[in-house]
Amino acid sequence: MLSSRFKNLHPYVPGEQPKDRVYIKLNANENPYPPHPSVAKAVSELALNKTEKLGLYPDPDANELRQEIATMLNKSGGVLCNAWTDGDECTPDPKDMIPFEVTPDMIFCGNGSDEVLSFVFYSFFDSDRKLVFPTHTYSFYPVYCGFYEIPMDQVPLKDDWTLDREKMLEDANKFDSSIIFANPNAPTGISLSRNEVAAMLDRAPKDRVFIVDEAYCDFGGESCIPLLKDYKNLVIVRTFSKSLSFAGMRLGFVVANPELIQAVFTAKNSFNHFPVDNVAQTAAIASCKAVSYYAETSRKVVEQRESFTDFLKKNGWFVIDSRTNFVFAKKQGHTGEEIYQHVKKNGILIRHFNTPGIEDFVRITIGTPEQMAALREVLFDL
């Protein structure tokens, strides 16, 4: 009864969401801080006083939200932890300043960046051409390649866990194909600078889109949004799930030049007109307006990341310096699975991988100071 395409499906396995007991959850890179109170207020206001909206279709193109996202990017420069804040005021750190105004026609919104990525894959990648990406990067990319029957060219990381940019470019030129990677990358946490990405764009095929997934950029990466003016084939994917405490509400977006955004709209309108419901649009608009709060929470996460990295190093761990809200680390004499089990027994969930090459590592999401203190206690006995 199954379609011939079905055999290509290899579903993504997300971080576990157990029901058997209450764990400290440091396994899915969710934000440990709640959304700003104005978000809850906007949602209850919608439910209680504009109840009819729950029975009506939302704006299919999320126009008000796209305007608010553009404003938020212009105010923060796309790296929240660096943004200067003063009460509700928020201005980009000079090094993150976007040298043009991001406008709503450069934004596309979807139901989480996973969905946004699916529209992007559908719009720009073909089954007659290999898509180039690193062996270790966001593990949804190979899943979508299976779904859309896109052949893959997975380029191993270098010995220092950085992207092999030379090999990726060589392959992209050989196949005249697209490149996709996360920057900062997952699960390594390593970030390329904007200049390094620009140098890749200079040498990558100009008639193919080049995708940078900036899911973690707000925690200290360098955003490539400023490059959009010079590179018409650049597509940037971002999410509200991590830095904007929105994983449970689902919102992801694309930033790109208007012609490419129009293409993604066509894919969306051929699949589901209304991927972002009225509750999510209302909540996301309120989140954008509270941008300075999220700059503060991003800074708190970064502070904990730095002190936790120090702790691990002092205790004999190998830790990759991270620009994200997680750390990727290993300790000699233990597999990732053993560390995961030890920590889980003590009521804390982290993530390990069975992927060849990274079995020794665990990926630990950065939580509140209290959560990280609890984890330190548990790791002392390892």
Ligand X SMILES: *Cc1c(COP(=O)(O)O)cnc(C)c1O
Q: Which residues of this chain interact with ligand X, rule CB under 6 A?
A: 29, 112-114, 138, 182, 186, 213, 215, 239, 241, 247, 252
Q: Least distance to ligand X from the beta carbon of 112, Å?
A: 3
Close Cβ partners of 183 (under 8 Å, ≥ 6 residues apart): 191, 192, 197, 212, 213, 214, 217, 221, 224
Q: Least distance to ligand X from the beta carbon of 29, Å?
A: 6
Joined together, the tokens standing for residue 172 give: 């992209």
Q: Which is nearer to ligand X, 134 or 226 (CB)?
A: 134
Nearest to 224 by CA among 232, 239, 212: 212
Is 15 in contact with 351 (CB distance < 8 Å)? yes
Q: How far is CA 278 from the centre of its chain?
A: 23
Q: How far apart are CA 209 and CA 212, in angstroms?
A: 10
Within the chain, what is the greatest distance between any pair of CA atoms?
A: 60
Q: Least distance to ligand X from the beta carbon of 282, Å?
A: 18
CB closest to ligand X, residue no: 112
Q: Which is nearer to ligand X, 39 or 378 (CB)?
A: 39
Is 346 in contact with 337 (CB distance < 8 Å)? no
Reduced to 3 states, what is the DSSP secondary structure of residue 329? strand
* Enclosing H/E stretch for 328: strand 326-331
Q: Least distance to ligand X from the beta carbon of 74, Å?
A: 21
Q: How far apart are CA 217 and CA 190, in angstroms?
A: 11
Q: Which is nearer to ligand X, 124 or 331 (CB)?
A: 124
Q: Which is nearer to ligand X, 106 or 211 (CB)?
A: 211
Q: Which is nearer to ligand X, 275 or 336 (CB)?
A: 275
Q: Which is nearer to ligand X, 253 or 331 (CB)?
A: 253
Reduced to 3 states, what is the DSSP secondary structure of residue 296? helix
Q: Least distance to ligand X from the beta carbon of 280, Å?
A: 11
The sheet that has 210-213: what strands, in order across it?
107-110, 252-256, 234-239, 210-213, 179-182, 131-134, 152-155
Q: Least distance to ligand X from the beta carbon of 143, Å?
A: 12
Q: Least distance to ligand X from the beta carbon of 320, Å?
A: 16
Q: Least distance to ligand X from the beta carbon of 252, Å?
A: 4
Q: How many degrees, rounded to 5, is the angle at CA 192 between CA 65 and CA 350?
A: 75
Q: Least distance to ligand X from the beta carbon of 182, Å?
A: 4
Q: Least distance to ligand X from the beta carbon of 238, Å?
A: 8
Q: Which is nearer to ligand X, 304 or 324 (CB)?
A: 324
Joined together, the tokens standing for residue 193 give: 């600078």
Nearest to 349 by CA among 341, 338, 360, 358: 341
Cβ atoms within 10 A of the Cβ of 95, count?
Answer: 10
Is 108 in contact with 116 (CB distance < 8 Å)? yes
Q: How far apart are CA 325 and CA 214, in angstroms?
A: 12
